[in-house]
Amino acid sequence: MKTTTKPKIIVFLLLTFALSSFFYARIVSTGSVGNYTIGLMWCPGIAGILTQLIFEKKLRGLGWKLRPFRYLLLAYFLPVIYGLVVYGSVWLSGSAPLNIDQLALQVSQQTGETISPLNFVVSHVLNMATFGMLFSTFAALGEEIGWRGLFVPELAKAGSFTSASVISGIIWAVWHFPLILFADYHNPGTPVWFGLVCFTLMVLGISFTMAWLRLKSGSLWPAVLLHASHNIFIQGVFTPLTGQSSLSPYLIDEFGIGLALMGLLLIWIFWRKRAEVASV
Protein backbone atom coordinates (compact mmCIF):
# COMPACT_ATOMS: atom_id res chain seq x y z
CA MET A 1 0.00 0.00 0.00
CA LYS A 2 1.30 3.43 -0.88
CA THR A 3 2.09 5.58 2.13
CA THR A 4 0.18 8.47 0.53
CA THR A 5 -3.12 6.58 0.34
CA LYS A 6 -4.54 7.53 3.75
CA PRO A 7 -3.57 11.26 3.58
CA LYS A 8 -4.87 11.38 0.02
CA ILE A 9 -8.25 10.00 1.10
CA ILE A 10 -8.48 12.43 4.02
CA VAL A 11 -7.59 15.45 1.86
CA PHE A 12 -10.13 14.38 -0.79
CA LEU A 13 -12.94 14.07 1.76
CA LEU A 14 -12.08 17.35 3.47
CA LEU A 15 -12.07 19.18 0.14
CA THR A 16 -15.29 17.50 -1.00
CA PHE A 17 -17.29 18.45 2.08
CA ALA A 18 -15.70 21.91 2.32
CA LEU A 19 -16.67 22.72 -1.27
CA SER A 20 -20.09 21.13 -0.80
CA SER A 21 -20.82 23.21 2.31
CA PHE A 22 -21.20 26.30 0.11
CA PHE A 23 -24.05 24.62 -1.77
CA TYR A 24 -25.47 22.93 1.33
CA ALA A 25 -25.96 26.35 2.91
CA ARG A 26 -27.89 27.69 -0.07
CA ILE A 27 -29.94 24.55 -0.54
CA VAL A 28 -30.93 24.44 3.13
CA SER A 29 -31.74 28.15 3.19
CA THR A 30 -34.11 27.80 0.23
CA GLY A 31 -35.37 24.34 1.08
CA SER A 32 -34.83 23.26 -2.52
CA VAL A 33 -32.01 21.58 -4.43
CA GLY A 34 -33.15 23.51 -7.50
CA ASN A 35 -30.46 25.45 -9.34
CA TYR A 36 -27.63 24.19 -7.15
CA THR A 37 -27.62 20.59 -8.41
CA ILE A 38 -24.81 20.87 -10.96
CA GLY A 39 -22.58 22.92 -8.68
CA LEU A 40 -22.97 20.42 -5.85
CA MET A 41 -22.41 17.43 -8.13
CA TRP A 42 -19.11 18.87 -9.32
CA CYS A 43 -17.70 19.32 -5.81
CA PRO A 44 -16.35 15.73 -5.55
CA GLY A 45 -14.88 16.05 -9.04
CA ILE A 46 -13.09 19.30 -8.29
CA ALA A 47 -11.90 17.85 -4.97
CA GLY A 48 -10.62 14.77 -6.79
CA ILE A 49 -8.73 16.82 -9.37
CA LEU A 50 -7.17 19.06 -6.69
CA THR A 51 -6.21 16.07 -4.56
CA GLN A 52 -4.60 14.29 -7.51
CA LEU A 53 -2.61 17.39 -8.39
CA ILE A 54 -1.50 17.90 -4.78
CA PHE A 55 -0.24 14.34 -4.33
CA GLU A 56 0.68 13.19 -7.84
CA LYS A 57 1.33 16.50 -9.63
CA LYS A 58 -0.64 15.15 -12.60
CA LEU A 59 -4.16 14.02 -13.51
CA ARG A 60 -3.19 10.58 -14.72
CA GLY A 61 -4.52 7.73 -12.60
CA LEU A 62 -8.14 8.85 -12.39
CA GLY A 63 -9.29 6.39 -15.06
CA TRP A 64 -9.68 8.70 -18.05
CA LYS A 65 -9.26 6.07 -20.75
CA LEU A 66 -12.29 4.45 -22.34
CA ARG A 67 -12.15 0.75 -21.65
CA PRO A 68 -13.93 -2.29 -23.17
CA PHE A 69 -17.27 -1.45 -24.72
CA ARG A 70 -19.10 -4.20 -22.81
CA TYR A 71 -18.68 -2.35 -19.52
CA LEU A 72 -20.11 0.86 -21.00
CA LEU A 73 -23.02 -1.13 -22.43
CA LEU A 74 -23.70 -2.78 -19.07
CA ALA A 75 -23.50 0.58 -17.31
CA TYR A 76 -25.97 2.22 -19.69
CA PHE A 77 -28.62 -0.51 -19.64
CA LEU A 78 -28.43 -1.75 -16.03
CA PRO A 79 -30.59 1.13 -14.66
CA VAL A 80 -33.10 0.45 -17.44
CA ILE A 81 -33.30 -3.19 -16.38
CA TYR A 82 -33.69 -2.64 -12.65
CA GLY A 83 -36.01 0.29 -13.31
CA LEU A 84 -38.28 -1.88 -15.45
CA VAL A 85 -38.31 -4.59 -12.77
CA VAL A 86 -39.22 -2.19 -9.95
CA TYR A 87 -41.64 0.08 -11.76
CA GLY A 88 -43.10 -2.72 -13.88
CA SER A 89 -43.95 -4.60 -10.67
CA VAL A 90 -45.62 -1.47 -9.27
CA TRP A 91 -47.68 -0.91 -12.43
CA LEU A 92 -48.69 -4.53 -12.92
CA SER A 93 -49.65 -5.00 -9.27
CA GLY A 94 -51.88 -1.92 -9.37
CA SER A 95 -49.95 -0.31 -6.51
CA ALA A 96 -49.60 2.82 -8.65
CA PRO A 97 -50.90 3.53 -12.16
CA LEU A 98 -48.97 4.02 -15.37
CA ASN A 99 -49.72 7.68 -16.05
CA ILE A 100 -49.16 7.88 -19.81
CA ASP A 101 -52.65 9.03 -20.84
CA GLN A 102 -52.69 11.99 -18.45
CA LEU A 103 -49.19 13.10 -19.39
CA ALA A 104 -49.97 12.88 -23.11
CA LEU A 105 -53.09 14.98 -22.54
CA GLN A 106 -51.09 17.62 -20.65
CA VAL A 107 -48.58 17.86 -23.50
CA SER A 108 -51.40 18.14 -26.04
CA GLN A 109 -52.97 20.98 -24.04
CA GLN A 110 -49.64 22.80 -23.74
CA THR A 111 -48.71 22.50 -27.42
CA GLY A 112 -52.16 22.65 -28.96
CA GLU A 113 -51.36 19.50 -30.94
CA THR A 114 -52.92 16.13 -30.30
CA ILE A 115 -50.38 13.49 -29.32
CA SER A 116 -51.20 9.85 -28.66
CA PRO A 117 -49.99 8.17 -25.47
CA LEU A 118 -47.75 5.84 -27.51
CA ASN A 119 -46.15 8.69 -29.45
CA PHE A 120 -45.65 10.60 -26.21
CA VAL A 121 -43.82 7.70 -24.55
CA VAL A 122 -41.63 7.00 -27.57
CA SER A 123 -40.75 10.68 -28.02
CA HIS A 124 -40.07 11.24 -24.32
CA VAL A 125 -37.94 8.13 -23.84
CA LEU A 126 -35.87 8.76 -26.98
CA ASN A 127 -35.29 12.38 -26.00
CA MET A 128 -34.20 11.45 -22.48
CA ALA A 129 -32.09 8.51 -23.64
CA THR A 130 -30.12 10.62 -26.12
CA PHE A 131 -30.09 14.40 -25.57
CA GLY A 132 -30.97 14.03 -21.90
CA MET A 133 -28.05 11.65 -21.43
CA LEU A 134 -25.60 14.26 -22.68
CA PHE A 135 -26.48 16.70 -19.89
CA SER A 136 -26.81 13.91 -17.34
CA THR A 137 -23.36 12.57 -18.26
CA PHE A 138 -21.78 15.98 -17.73
CA ALA A 139 -23.39 16.23 -14.29
CA ALA A 140 -22.48 12.65 -13.34
CA LEU A 141 -18.88 13.19 -14.43
CA GLY A 142 -18.58 15.85 -11.73
CA GLU A 143 -19.29 13.31 -9.02
CA GLU A 144 -17.55 10.32 -10.53
CA ILE A 145 -14.13 11.94 -11.05
CA GLY A 146 -14.05 12.12 -7.26
CA TRP A 147 -16.01 9.14 -5.96
CA ARG A 148 -14.98 6.46 -8.43
CA GLY A 149 -12.08 8.13 -10.25
CA LEU A 150 -10.02 8.73 -7.11
CA PHE A 151 -11.79 7.57 -3.94
CA VAL A 152 -12.61 3.93 -4.77
CA PRO A 153 -9.15 3.01 -6.16
CA GLU A 154 -7.46 4.58 -3.12
CA LEU A 155 -9.78 2.69 -0.76
CA ALA A 156 -9.09 -0.53 -2.67
CA LYS A 157 -5.34 -0.01 -2.19
CA ALA A 158 -5.89 0.28 1.55
CA GLY A 159 -8.32 -2.62 1.87
CA SER A 160 -10.54 -4.93 -0.15
CA PHE A 161 -13.20 -4.56 -2.80
CA THR A 162 -15.87 -5.06 -0.15
CA SER A 163 -14.51 -2.42 2.20
CA ALA A 164 -13.98 0.02 -0.67
CA SER A 165 -17.58 -0.49 -1.82
CA VAL A 166 -19.09 -0.16 1.67
CA ILE A 167 -17.03 2.85 2.76
CA SER A 168 -17.47 4.74 -0.49
CA GLY A 169 -21.18 3.90 -0.53
CA ILE A 170 -21.82 5.06 3.04
CA ILE A 171 -19.92 8.32 2.57
CA TRP A 172 -21.61 8.89 -0.79
CA ALA A 173 -25.00 8.41 0.89
CA VAL A 174 -24.12 10.67 3.83
CA TRP A 175 -23.02 13.35 1.37
CA HIS A 176 -26.66 13.43 0.18
CA PHE A 177 -28.21 13.47 3.67
CA PRO A 178 -28.47 17.28 4.05
CA LEU A 179 -30.58 17.36 0.89
CA ILE A 180 -32.93 14.72 2.28
CA LEU A 181 -33.12 16.09 5.83
CA PHE A 182 -33.33 19.82 5.12
CA ALA A 183 -34.52 20.23 1.52
CA ASP A 184 -36.89 18.70 -1.00
CA TYR A 185 -34.81 15.70 -2.05
CA HIS A 186 -37.22 13.00 -0.85
CA ASN A 187 -40.64 11.49 -1.45
CA PRO A 188 -43.32 13.69 0.17
CA GLY A 189 -45.70 11.77 2.40
CA THR A 190 -43.20 9.32 3.86
CA PRO A 191 -41.21 9.55 7.11
CA VAL A 192 -37.73 10.99 6.71
CA TRP A 193 -36.15 7.93 8.34
CA PHE A 194 -37.82 5.69 5.75
CA GLY A 195 -36.42 7.72 2.87
CA LEU A 196 -32.94 7.74 4.43
CA VAL A 197 -32.89 3.97 4.89
CA CYS A 198 -34.20 3.20 1.40
CA PHE A 199 -31.88 5.73 -0.22
CA THR A 200 -28.84 4.40 1.64
CA LEU A 201 -29.54 0.80 0.65
CA MET A 202 -29.99 1.82 -2.98
CA VAL A 203 -26.77 3.84 -2.93
CA LEU A 204 -24.84 0.96 -1.38
CA GLY A 205 -26.05 -1.34 -4.15
CA ILE A 206 -25.02 1.12 -6.84
CA SER A 207 -21.73 1.69 -5.02
CA PHE A 208 -20.87 -2.02 -5.19
CA THR A 209 -21.76 -1.99 -8.89
CA MET A 210 -19.73 1.11 -9.72
CA ALA A 211 -16.74 0.01 -7.65
CA TRP A 212 -16.69 -3.31 -9.49
CA LEU A 213 -16.94 -1.59 -12.87
CA ARG A 214 -14.22 0.92 -11.95
CA LEU A 215 -11.74 -1.69 -10.72
CA LYS A 216 -12.55 -4.27 -13.38
CA SER A 217 -12.35 -1.87 -16.34
CA GLY A 218 -9.68 0.48 -15.00
CA SER A 219 -11.85 3.35 -16.21
CA LEU A 220 -14.16 5.83 -14.52
CA TRP A 221 -16.43 6.07 -17.59
CA PRO A 222 -18.61 3.02 -16.87
CA ALA A 223 -19.39 4.56 -13.46
CA VAL A 224 -20.14 7.92 -15.10
CA LEU A 225 -22.46 6.29 -17.61
CA LEU A 226 -24.27 4.20 -14.99
CA HIS A 227 -24.75 7.26 -12.78
CA ALA A 228 -26.05 9.31 -15.72
CA SER A 229 -28.32 6.52 -16.93
CA HIS A 230 -29.76 5.98 -13.45
CA ASN A 231 -30.58 9.67 -13.08
CA ILE A 232 -32.16 9.87 -16.53
CA PHE A 233 -34.26 6.71 -16.45
CA ILE A 234 -35.28 6.67 -12.78
CA GLN A 235 -35.78 10.41 -12.24
CA GLY A 236 -36.63 11.40 -15.82
CA VAL A 237 -38.59 8.47 -17.21
CA PHE A 238 -39.94 5.87 -14.78
CA THR A 239 -40.97 8.15 -11.91
CA PRO A 240 -42.73 10.77 -14.11
CA LEU A 241 -44.61 7.98 -15.92
CA THR A 242 -45.95 6.67 -12.60
CA GLY A 243 -49.13 8.13 -11.18
CA GLN A 244 -49.67 8.92 -7.52
CA SER A 245 -51.34 6.55 -5.09
CA SER A 246 -51.30 6.04 -1.33
CA LEU A 247 -48.54 3.45 -1.79
CA SER A 248 -46.42 5.02 -4.52
CA PRO A 249 -44.25 7.24 -2.24
CA TYR A 250 -43.23 4.11 -0.32
CA LEU A 251 -42.49 2.04 -3.42
CA ILE A 252 -40.90 4.17 -6.14
CA ASP A 253 -38.08 6.60 -6.82
CA GLU A 254 -34.80 6.71 -4.93
CA PHE A 255 -36.53 6.82 -1.54
CA GLY A 256 -38.89 3.86 -2.01
CA ILE A 257 -38.56 0.22 -1.03
CA GLY A 258 -38.39 -0.98 -4.64
CA LEU A 259 -34.95 0.41 -5.46
CA ALA A 260 -33.77 -0.33 -1.91
CA LEU A 261 -34.46 -4.03 -2.48
CA MET A 262 -32.80 -3.78 -5.88
CA GLY A 263 -29.79 -2.27 -4.11
CA LEU A 264 -29.55 -5.33 -1.87
CA LEU A 265 -29.69 -7.56 -4.94
CA LEU A 266 -26.88 -5.58 -6.62
CA ILE A 267 -24.75 -5.89 -3.46
CA TRP A 268 -25.19 -9.66 -3.54
CA ILE A 269 -24.45 -9.96 -7.28
CA PHE A 270 -21.28 -7.88 -7.30
CA TRP A 271 -20.02 -9.07 -3.92
CA ARG A 272 -20.09 -12.60 -5.36
CA LYS A 273 -17.98 -11.32 -8.27
CA ARG A 274 -15.42 -9.67 -5.96
CA ALA A 275 -12.71 -12.21 -6.82
CA GLU A 276 -12.64 -10.83 -10.36
CA VAL A 277 -11.28 -7.51 -9.10
CA ALA A 278 -9.27 -8.70 -6.10
CA SER A 279 -6.00 -8.52 -7.98
CA VAL A 280 -6.77 -5.55 -10.23
Quick: pLDDT tens for 106-165.
Answer: 766 666 677 777 788 888 889 999 999 999 999 999 999 999 999 999 999 999 999 999
Segment 188-216 mean pLDDT: 97
Separation of alpha carbons 23 and 7, rounded Å: 25
Q: Cα torsion at 102, 251, 225, 123 (round to 10°)?
A: -10
* Chain centroid offset of residue 136 CA: 10
Q: Give the pLDDT band (50/70/90) at residue 2.
A: low
Separation of alpha carbons 38 and 15, rounded Å: 17
pLDDT of residue 160: 93
- Of 8, 237, 31, 259, nearest in space to 132 by CA: 237
Of 7-21, 57-71, 220-234, the poorest mean pLDDT is in 57-71
Separation of alpha carbons 69 and 49, rounded Å: 25
Helix (H, G, I), strand (E, B) or coil at 98: strand
Separation of alpha carbons 171 and 174, rounded Å: 5
pLDDT of 1 strictly over 50: no
% of the chain exceeding 90 in pLDDT: 84
Segment 252-256 mean pLDDT: 97
What total of structural domains would you count in the chain? 1
The more confidently predicted of residues 66 and 82 is 82
Separation of alpha carbons 73 and 45, rounded Å: 23
Domain interval for residue 128: 5-276
pLDDT of residue 213: 97
Segment 170-180 mean pLDDT: 97
Could you tell me the CA-to-CA distances from 197 to 54, 64, 170, 194, 255 in Å, in that order? 36, 33, 11, 5, 8
pLDDT of residue 100: 83
% of the chain exceeding 70 in pLDDT: 95
The more confidently predicted of residues 110 and 185 is 185
pLDDT of residue 101: 77
Q: Give the pLDDT band (50/70/90) at residue 5.
A: confident
pLDDT of 104 strictly over 80: no
pLDDT of residue 279: 53
